[in-house]
Structure formats: structure tokens, C-alpha cells
Structure 1
Amino acid sequence: MPMPEIQAIVANFPVGSFESYTPVEVGLIHKTYRVETNTGTFCLQGLHPKLATDEILADYKVVTGFLAERDFPAPRLVETSTGAAAWDDEDETRWRMTTWLSGKTYNAIQSEDMAVSAASMLGRFHAVMDELDYTFQTKHPLHQTRYHLECMQKAAEKYQASPWFEKVKGMIEEVEEVLPTLLLPTLPQRVVHGDPKISNILFDDDLQACAVIDLDTCCRHSVLVDLGDAVRSWCREGSEDEEKELALPWFAAMMKGYAQGGLRLTAEELAWLPKAGRLITLELSARFLADTLEDSYFGWDQSRYSSRREHNFARAKGMIHLARDMQTHQGRIEEIVAEYFTPV
């Protein structure tokens, strides 16, 4: 986006005089910019329409305000000059501004110590948010597994004439067979991050976790959806569009870190924890497969792929490969969970 347009957007927030901006490439959904003004550094985001509702913005304001009160390292919302949570441009894009946090983002775990630190930070987040007395307003909570499964099935029915359908048919059938066996029972509903991929945790120069970001997907759910997504995101080498195996040493490090700093889990939660990584991995597979056909949601890397569909196809293959490998190591995963956790 040209500088004059960014400058005009920034003028709607009480952050001083605009000086410069830099696009931030990390992330699949929002358009994100680092903005420098004469008063400091800020994060400006053009929100994806599905994550820009009044309800989600209200939830974001409550969550970030609560974390600020508890001095937890996370972004602080910067309201517009009129006191709104976001500013709407003439194209109906909603722009949100927050404080900028120092730290680095990574797309993959670099060491076992890094996994321990990240899991401890996620555990601290869960423990702090467990004190929040608030009814979330969002109508778009993540990790609604049955819903994503149904969306994939509807896309498959709608796009059977698409040349992409034959490419994804076998993967769709595999997800349809396995994913229903992993659906969680009724478990304690806690405040979760909703998208704790490793790039949503900031690290210092020593690879120690120093902050949690991207808080617009917080809601109440089983804490296992966060832990499962962390297993999927953290416990493998490479990016999610590569066919990589589960890194068991990193999984063990993650369990160690969370057990040190996180919530005490019930016996039933611990019984389902070993399956949580595979659950979320196949849930995301279903979403990538649906978008391979629909071509409407996820961002994509134009420097490496010719289309959104092609990138989503590679992502789906990578996630299904990972889920298969998790299944082969299920016994060892259960042993590691039992090693670090005892039920409440």
C-alpha cells in the first residue's frame, strides 16, 4: 500500500506525527504494517472481514485490556481519536492499531529450550486468562471442528467439476474418515488463544519467549485446541506447506514447559491431550482443502506459488503427512504426556 494511504489511516489514531512504515510479511490473514511516529512504534492492521466484526473487536478490547492490567506481555489496543476500536476506510476495510512489541517471530522452533520457553509462555497466558470473567461475543470462534469438516464436504460437493477436485479427492476422503474419530468430548471451557502457532509468540535474542500476539481469536474452548495447535505448529521442522515429520524431542520439551507454567489439567483432558495435535492438524487440513477448491480465504506466497489454490494444496499435503506421522508415534506421545502431567 502506498505511503500516503497509510499516512492517512494513521492520522485517525492519536499516535503523533507519521514518520515511516514497513510491511510485515508474517501472517496469513491480516495486512500488517509496522508504523513509526514521533511518539513511538505501532502495529497497524487491515483486518480480514471475517475477523473484523464488532463482536471480535469488543472481545479484543477486553482481552488486551485485561492482560494489560495483569502486566502480561501482549499488545495494547490503541483506540481511534474518537474512541473506537478500529477505523473504517471508504472500502469498508477496518483498521486496528496496537502497541508494537519488541522481539522476533519465527516460523519454526529452533531448539528444545525454545520449545520449553514457548510452552511456558502459553501456559502463563492460559493461567492469567483463567481469571477473566467475561462472556465472549464472537460469532466466529476458531476450532469448530465439525463446522470445518462440514465446510470441506460442502466445498467438495460444490466443486466436483473443478480440475482441482480430483487432486484433493483422496485427501478429503481421508480427513472424512479420521477426523470424526478425534472429536473432543465435553471438556472444561477455558479462555484460549485460538491460534497459538509459533509465529504468534515473540522471542528475545536468546530464543526465550517474551510476548504473545494476535489475540483476535480468543474465545472459550477446551484448552486442548491451543495445545493441539501448538503441537502442530511447533513440533516439526519446516513450514506447514512442507511434508515433515513430528519432532518428538520438541514435543517432549513443549509438554515440559507447559507443565511448568500452565494450568493443571483434569484426568479427562489429559486422556485426550495425546490426540489433540492430530485433531487440529486434520482440522486445518480440512480448511486448506476447502480453500483449495473455493480459493477465497487464506493468504498465499506469490513468490513461491502460482495461485492460492496451489499453495493451499501444498499446505493440505503437509498437514496430512504430519497427521499420519503423529499416528505412528501415538504410543510414545502418550508416554511423554504421562511423564510430565498428573491430573488434578
Structure 2
Amino acid sequence: MSDTENFEVCRKVIDLCREEISRRVVGQKDVVDGILTAAIAGGHVLLEGVPGLAKTLAVRSFADVSGLDFKRIQFTPDLLPADVTGTLIYEQNSATFSVRKGPVFTNVVLADEINRSPAKVQSALLEAMAERQVTIGENTYKLPEPFIVLATQNPIDEEGTYNLPAAELDRFLLKLVVSYPTPEEEIAVVRTCGKAPDIPLRKILDAEKIFAMRKLVDSIKCDDKIVEYIVSIVSATRADKDKRQFKSRQSEFSKYISFGASPRAGIALLQCAKVQALFAGRNFVLPDDVKSAALPVLRHRIVLSYEASADSVTSDELIGKILSLMPAP
């Protein structure tokens, strides 16, 4: 099979996944595409939205369509790190310790309401998310591949929640904002009478297909001008740079940024732009692929200043401003 045929097959498989998930999840196209993007790119996703917007349902539906092993962890204030990663159990009969692996040892992990648990529990995921391994006692254990963490959080509650540290936020490839449905979509949701989770879904993907798609993504070409474009966008988020770009226009938004995105953001942006090209059945990246991936890749990697809070400026607005000012190749 030629490369062109491989790309076309992948595009059709992605369309089948979208179609199958839409049998349960009405609308939320950006959320579904974001989850599929992260699975193919080998990254993790943070989903933020108020209760009742089908965040958990979207994750469960993806797990069913992917055919991968799935486990859910409900984060609560009394959760312990060992409840996530596992622990050593003393066997009295043999006077030895045995390893009891936690729910993180699976392919797809739903970290539900991740900001409900304190930092020591959140940090238990850091090694797993970054290095695909978990240390229990004196031994380190590799996690199964593919491995993806899909975490949800509620943005409106403050009491009893713990903000994710910047180091952990940076481990998420994408942050997806789950919005309210349109009136037409909400009518379709209400008509289901809450029975959408019971709709059976076909298995479209498997680990082998995901690995094959990752190889195709690695083969997608990206011109040096596109790479420079990506680096320019990422560097424009940094308030402490030497203002080589935009000159005076940059000062319009630089005061709203305390800390910008790191080089890891540039790597993520390139990877997600390649996946966007794969979704379109292309073997090369366009500037529009970069623009479509910029918001979910960068929105959680920008630390806003006090001025931004005072003027009610969001990271999405700043990223949009940067994209409008940055000349595309």
C-alpha cells in the first residue's frame, strides 16, 4: 500500500471514530478531535468544563471505540498516592512484600475531577505521564503502551479544590474547554433521556492501528518555514524576551503574560499540527494546521499576570491576538 493510500485509510478510520462516538456524544466535535489527536500524538488531555457537559461520557466513548484497557480514578480529598500508582503489600505467610499495582497500569486512565485531590496525589501522576513508568518501593515498572491520561476538572468550584501546579499542567499535551451545546444539540441530548451511555459502540481502533498512525505522523513533512512559524508563536508568549517581533504592537498583550510557554510547547504544537494534517489525509503541514492546534496546546502553558485578571483577559484571547499578528509563511 502506498503512502497516499495509507493516509487516506487513516482519514477514513478517524471519520469512523468520530461517527461512532457521535452516537453517544452529541456535538463536542472539538473535544472528540482533541482526544483523538492526543491518542495519536501520544499525549495527555485535560478537559475543563462545568458538570453535565459529557466530559466523562466522551472519555468512556473513546475508550470503547479504541478497544484499549480503561480504568477510572475518582479524585477526592482523601485519596492517597498509593491509590493511584500502587503499593507494597506485606505477605505474612512468606514474610515478603508483593507489589499491588494501582489503576494507573492501564492504557486509558480517566482522572475524574483531578483538582479535587491535594498536590501529593496529583504529583503521583507526574512520573507516569512524563516517563511512562511508576516507581513502587525500590523498583520501577513500565506502563503499558499506548498510555494516555484524560483528566477532567470543574472550573467553577473553589472550595475543596487544588489548582494543578504548572509542572503538571505542562505534562498535558492539550487542554480542551468543554462548552455548552447549541440549542439544537441540547434538544437532541434531552431526547435521549440520559440513556446515551447505554448505547453500544463498535471498536474501530486498537493498539496496532494507533502505533501505525504514529508512524505515519512521524513521516509527515514540515517545511523549515513552518517550524520557524511555530517557534515564533511560542516565543511570542514570553514576556521577558527582547521584543524582536511585533515591536510596539507586542506591548499591547505582553503585559498580560507573566510566564510564557516552554520549548516543550513548540514540540507539542508541531506534533499536533502533523496530526491535523493526518486528519485531512495530507503528508505535509500547512500553517492552518498550526493555527487550529495553537489554542489547546498553548492555553494552559501561559501564566497570566495580575493585569490580565484585572482586565478580564483570557489566555485564549492572547493566543488569538498573537496568531493575528504573526505573519504566516
> Normalising to structure 2: TM-score of the pair?
0.28
* Bigger relative contact order (CA 8 A; separation at least 6): 2
> Normalising to structure 1: TM-score of the pair?
0.27
